[in-house]
Structure 1
């Protein structure tokens, strides 16, 4: 392999074109995800790894300042050209690691965190350990996703669902609900209000209004987001925010409330979304994070049962990797280890 050259990529079209050609597993390395963080006040770098003039990998880097420590975060990256083999990837990771170490020290960081979408296997783990990484105590991006191929016919999609889910969907017409799809920023508050109620009732840590609103606006600039709603008369029952890129719809946020009639609105809204994406020519629906089967007390267990009811397959990613830059990392390690245990992850 020729000498690798690392430099910033400032062209949105070049960046996203490379991402879309080489992965459909995430939108967290897209230009829009970096743009969102930049507008929220984070420092962001769009780095390309070149062999001569050929772009072989990209890496969106976000500087995170938290009370537990400051670090460089690579969310669901780096993204590497698909035909790159293990040996060439080792060289890319080695060069990229040197760059990240230098940048991290310049920025006063205590560690670098890479949350890759590479398959979770022994070889990929070996490559990262050889580069000096260790397993992180907790994840930031999901390490396990449920992905549904929506190209089969509607009948085949239903046939491959769990029996109880299929039964609910076949009765959809009986509930006489009203569905709505929107990209109107004025509808965002309606979504967020229900999302906030859901977070409070289910007692989990959600994202702030500003964070999700800026995500919506950044992806809206590229026509890559939709809000979906389902109503019983005028009562909003469920809502979802879907990011769509590269023929994939990503179920990033959901919200719902219980209703007196026990209408399974979350199931019905998901089916509406799947049908809409299918009609628009999408190939995949990514339900996003699910819980591993060997953790029966995981806080996502109920959500996982819900998502898996629609069928699809699990995709496990390499465990999140940390590169330690200074001793303060161990403060972060302790805080995150306690947090992981308390939350049941």
Structure 2
């Protein structure tokens, strides 16, 4: 058994196949997903636990860069397949080692552990001596790291009809109302269709004062993920006009809701309810045992998500970090405290500078 670090195309393809089919994995571990951070000038690598070409665990890491500062971020994991738990500590120990290799001042991990009867998380972890020198929590927040699942349990249903009966009467009412309004589901698959859907998500983010990556930073990678089958972009149309869109990404034998947007109008077409229902139907048709509608969002978004979700699975004692260079980290924390109000502007600037470089 050995651990290798690579960005070779052949290994990245094998790694993504592993992430798609390994129950404890997540879309946050996909090489294709982590490669999208190149739009900010970041780098990435995967660490693979393998024997004779067979993958048994590992992690994907983003090397975030901002001026003189570097951060080694493992957004999800490390993980190992069932029966290989004894190698988890060795994988975790590699994280601060690789941070030093990349000359980073900081590193962190986010382990999917929760006391929940769900096969996609670890109920407990083996003893991990590699965490003795780590501190709990996460200091660097600019690369999203997993902290739980907002789970829709599809094992309760054996048909589309019984699927609908899983939800509360108010949710069923809104779904049926949306369907009566004449909304039509289309999968957005061509480059023009994908851009149309993402533009709507950008407009929604702008209107609600939160930020997502601009099209130039994310669009080409999004098109590639849709073409590879890892991502599904669903659109709700009414009389030929796009009224809402949601993006799903696969990993761990389930799909996760990544982002979405809808047009506000009166009367309300309930495009959000329509699209989440269609997403759940699609995930069910794929034979998945659940759908991660994801945690977080505005109060309205959280209410919509939780009207579908069965349980919120929040990871417990899962985040740990290492300070590799205290001086550089303190400098970063000082600068970040002064500039964090300009996060959206800086993100756009870094993206533009990257395109011009």
Give the one of 106, 111, 131 matched to 1:111.
106
In the superposition, relative to structure 1, how do residues 24 and 180 fare at CA in structure 2: closer, same or farther (>3 Å)? farther
List aligned pairs for 1:110-129, cutoff 5 A. 110-119=105-114, 127=128, 129=131
2:70 alignment partner in structure 1:
70
Count of residues paired in the alignment? 327
List aligned pairs for 1:229-308, cutoff 5 A. 229-245=235-251, 247-290=253-296, 300-308=298-306
Q: Is the 8 A contact 2:178 2:273 kept in 1?
A: no
List aligned pairs for 1:133-152, cutoff 5 A. 133-137=135-139, 139=141, 140-151=144-155, 152=157
1:325 alignment partner in structure 2:
324
In the superposition, relative to structure 1, how do residues 17 and 176 fare at CA in structure 2: closer, same or farther (>3 Å)? closer
Give the one of 302, 310, 313 matched to 1:312.
310
Question: Could you list the per-position Cα deviations for residues 110-168 of structure 1 after superposition, in whole angstroms to 9, with x for gaps in the alignment?
Answer: 11122332337996598464142431146422412212133413333333323321111
Q: Is the 8 A contact 2:188 2:234 kept in 1?
A: yes
Unpaired stretches in structure 2, ≥5 consecutive residues: 116-121, 344-357
Q: Which moved more, 1:29-38 or 1:327-336?
A: 327-336
Unpaired stretches in structure 1, ≥5 consecutive residues: 291-298
Q: Distance in 2 between matches of 1:84 and 1:276?
A: 32
2:30 alignment partner in structure 1:
30
TM-score when scaled to structure 1? 0.81
1:281 Cα deviation from its structure 2 partner: 3.2
2:3 alignment partner in structure 1:
6
Q: Is the 8 A contact 2:106 2:321 kept in 1?
A: yes
Secondary structure of 1:18's aligned partner: helix
Secondary structure of 1:315's aligned partner: strand
* 1:83 correspondence with 2:83: yes
2:352 alignment partner in structure 1:
none
1:8 Cα deviation from its structure 2 partner: 2.4
* 1:155 correspondence with 2:161: yes
Q: Is the 8 A contact 1:45 1:61 kept in 2?
A: yes
In the superposition, relative to structure 1, how do residues 200 and 13 fare at CA in structure 2: closer, same or farther (>3 Å)? closer
Secondary structure of 2:77's aligned partner: coil
1:184 Cα deviation from its structure 2 partner: 0.8
